[in-house]
């Protein structure tokens, strides 16, 4: 731990290589990540964490590339965590988001880190939360997270970001029937990117319709952008900042973050329980259990009761 401790001190002192190595350690070693998260918890909460999510091809990277210079007008530095999917077959990944952020990437006031999802299904990676904490602790005042292209259940960004920006394109309604509800619930702000294409107006109408079905009032802001030439991006950054300042002024930020932390803890607990249950079921006792369930000789209620006992037994025998 001392080497890691030194790394942390170096990272906090502003050494990029140390921060970069810690990020790798967080990704590679979940036990370390857990310890670090615990150590960092008291220091977190200073940064404004912004999530950019939306379907593949919505222009998320290009938007971030445009947002960065604006963010640097407000803050001294800005960090980006760009998540891309890992291949379920090889565990490898192609991480290409940096290509579209090459312009600002070399300034010492920007830190871009590409991250593979490594099997996580929630649109970010398992390590993303701790990575964010780390950036926060190292005094990066604004952290932008680019999620995977959003699918059915990839909404974990809600548990992580103060501001969730959902990026869509004209014509979104036709292709995204299934997950409309999830997306509209996730977003604090909506961007219709590539708004110079036909269908921007009807997309705005459709989006408003979906949003008005939700209980939330006032309705989230909708901004139209053309990220390739930068139009509308000033307005977007303005909307992100003013919403955040409003939250701070009203004291709602703290409440929001509490709820978020609870959701994150909940998810983590469930994930851990799932993992343990799976491990238990894979044991020889668990195997016998599953056989009985499959044969119909044990009810699902009884199975649950026995499994819980097994789990407690596992815990008791754990070192």
Partner 1 sequence: MQAKTPPEVIRASSGFELKPFYTAADIPASHRERIDIAPGEAPYQRGFHPGGYRSKPWRIFQLSGFGKPEDENERIKFLLRNGETGFIMEHDRNTADHCYNVDHPDVVARREDVGLTGAVMQSVRDIAICMDGLPVDSSFAHPGGAVVQHAPFALAGYWTVARRRGFQLDKIAGTGQSDFNLTYLGCVTKQQIPTDAGLRFNADIIEFCGQHLPYWVPVSIAGYNAADTGLNPAQELGTLFANAVEYLDEMKRRGTVDMQMAAKGCAGVSFRASIHIFEEAAKMRAARVMWSELLRSRYDITDPKAANLRVHCVTAGSKMTYQQPLNNIVRGTLMALAAAMGGVQSLGVSGYDEALSIPSEHAHQMSLRVQQILQEETNFCAVTDPLGGSYYVETLTAQLMEKAWEFFDEIEKAGGYLACLDSGWLHARAAENQHDEFMAMETGEANIVGVTCATEDESPYEVDGFVGTDDAFDVATERLHETLRTRHESAAGTALKNLEAVCRGSDNIMPAMLDALDADVTLGEIGDVYRDVFGDWNTPIQT
Partner 2 sequence: MNQPSQKRILMSKTGLDGHWRGPTLVARALRDAGFEVIMIGMANTDEIVRAAVDEDVDLVGLNIGGHIDVALRAVRAVNEARPGLPVFAGGTVPPHAKRQLEELGVEVYPPGSQLAEIVDAAYRLTGATAPA
By CB under 8 A, residue 269 contacts partner 1: no
CB-CB neighbours of 184 under 10 Å: 19
Report how far apart, in Å, the C-alpha atoms of 297 and of each of 230, 234, 250, 284, 285 are: 64, 65, 58, 18, 16
From partner 1, partner 2, none, interface partner of 24 (C-beta below 5 to 8 A by class): partner 2
- Of 94, 153, 178, 208, the one binding partner 1 (CB under 8 A) is 94
Establish if 87 lies at the interface with partner 2 (CB under 8 A): yes
Binding partner selected for residue 92 from partner 1, partner 2, none, CB under the kind-specific 5 to 8 Å limit:
partner 2
Specify the residue for token string 């940096």.
98
User: Which residues lie below 8 Å from residue 103, measured CB to CB, with a gap of 6+?
Assistant: 65
The kind and range of the H/E element at 27 are helix 16-28
By the rule CB under 8 A, 96 interacts with partner 1: yes
d(Cα 97, Cα 62) in Å, to the nearest integer?
A: 9
Q: How far is the CB of 58 from partner 2 (least distance, A)?
A: 20
- Apex CA 237: angle with CA 233 and CA 239, to 5°? 115
For residue 165, which phi and psi values (nearest 5 degrees)? -100, 125
- Could you tell me which stretch among 55-63, 67-75, 254-262, 299-307 binds partner 1 (CB under 8 A)? 55-63
- Long-range (24+ apart) CB contacts under 8 A made by 58-61 are 58/149, 58/167, 58/168, 58/169, 58/193, 59/167, 59/169, 59/193, 59/194, 59/227, 59/228, 60/97, 60/146, 60/147, 60/167, 61/97, 61/99, 61/100, 61/101, 61/146
Q: Please, which residue, 59 or 286, has the CB nearer to partner 1?
A: 59
Residue 57 makes contact with partner 1 by CB under 8 A: yes
Question: 169 contacts which partner out of partner 1, partner 2, none, CB within 5 to 8 A by kind?
Answer: none
Which of 47, 63, 81, 116 contacts partner 2 by CB under 8 A?
116
Q: How far is the CB of 136 from partner 2 (least distance, A)?
A: 17
Cβ atoms of 211 and 219 closer than 8 Å: yes
Asked if 107 touches partner 1 (CB under 8 A), the answer is: no
The item of partner 2, partner 1, none sharing an interface with residue 204, based on CB under 5 to 8 Å by kind, is none
Reduce the DSSP state of residue 143 to 3 states and report it.
strand
Span near partner 2 by CB under 8 A; candidates 38-46, 105-113, 166-174, 178-186: 105-113
CB of 57 to partner 2, least distance (A): 17
Q: Exactly one of 79, 227, 241, 307 binds partner 1 (CB under 8 A); which one?
A: 227
Q: Of 143-151, 176-184, 224-232, 301-309, which segment contacts partner 1 by CB under 8 A?
A: 224-232
- From the CB of 131, what's the least distance to partner 2, in Å? 12
Q: In what order do the strands lie in the sheet with 48-54?
A: 110-116, 78-84, 142-149, 48-54, 163-168, 189-192, 221-224
99: contact with partner 1 by CB under 8 A:
yes
According to CB under 8 A, which one of 5, 46, 91, 288 is a site residue for partner 2? 91
Q: How many CA atoms lie within 13 A of 318 on its CB side?
A: 8
Can you give the binding site for partner 2, defined by CB under 8 A? 16-17, 20-21, 23-24, 27-31, 86-87, 89-96, 98-99, 102, 105-106, 111-114, 116, 118
Can you give the binding site for partner 1, defined by CB under 8 A? 57, 59, 62, 94, 96, 99-100, 194, 226-230
């Amino acid at each position: 731990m001392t080497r890691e401790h030194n790394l942390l001190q170096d990272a906090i002192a502003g050494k990029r290589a140390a921060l970069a190595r810690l990020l790798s350690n967080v990704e590679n070693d979940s036990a370390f990540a857990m310890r670090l998260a615990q150590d960092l918890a008291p220091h977190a909460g200073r940064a404004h964490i912004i999530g950019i999510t939306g379907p593949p091809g919505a222009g998320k990277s290009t938007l971030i590339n445009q947002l960065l210079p604006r963010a640097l007008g407000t803050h001294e530095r800005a960090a980006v965590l760009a998540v891309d999917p890992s291949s379920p077959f090889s565990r490898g990944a192609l991480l290409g988001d940096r290509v579209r952020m090459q312009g600002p990437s070399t300034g010492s006031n920007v830190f871009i880190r590409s991250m593979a999802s490594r099997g996580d299904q929630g649109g970010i990676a398992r390590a993303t939360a701790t990575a964010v904490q780390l950036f926060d602790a190292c005094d990066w005042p604004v952290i932008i997270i680019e999620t995977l292209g959003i699918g059915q259940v990839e909404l974990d960004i809600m548990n992580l970001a103060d501001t969730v920006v959902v990026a869509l394109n004209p014509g979104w309604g036709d292709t995204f029937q299934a997950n409309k509800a999830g997306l509209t619930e996730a977003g604090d702000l909506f961007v219709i990117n590539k708004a110079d294409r036909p269908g921007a107006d009807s997309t705005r109408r459709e989006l408003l319709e979906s949003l008005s079905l939700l209980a939330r009032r006032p309705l989230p802001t909708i901004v139209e952008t053309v990220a390739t030439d930068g139009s509308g991006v000033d307005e977007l950054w303005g909307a992100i900042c003013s919403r955040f300042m409003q939250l701070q002024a009203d004291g709602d930020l703290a409440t929001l973050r509490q709820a978020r932390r609870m959701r994150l803890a909940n998810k983590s607990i469930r994930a851990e329980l799932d993992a343990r249950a799976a491990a238990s079921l894979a044991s020889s006792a668990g195997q016998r259990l599953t056989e009985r369930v499959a044969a119909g000789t044990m009810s699902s209620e009884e199975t649950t009761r026995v499994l819980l006992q097994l789990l407690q037994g596992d815990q008791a025998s754990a070192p």
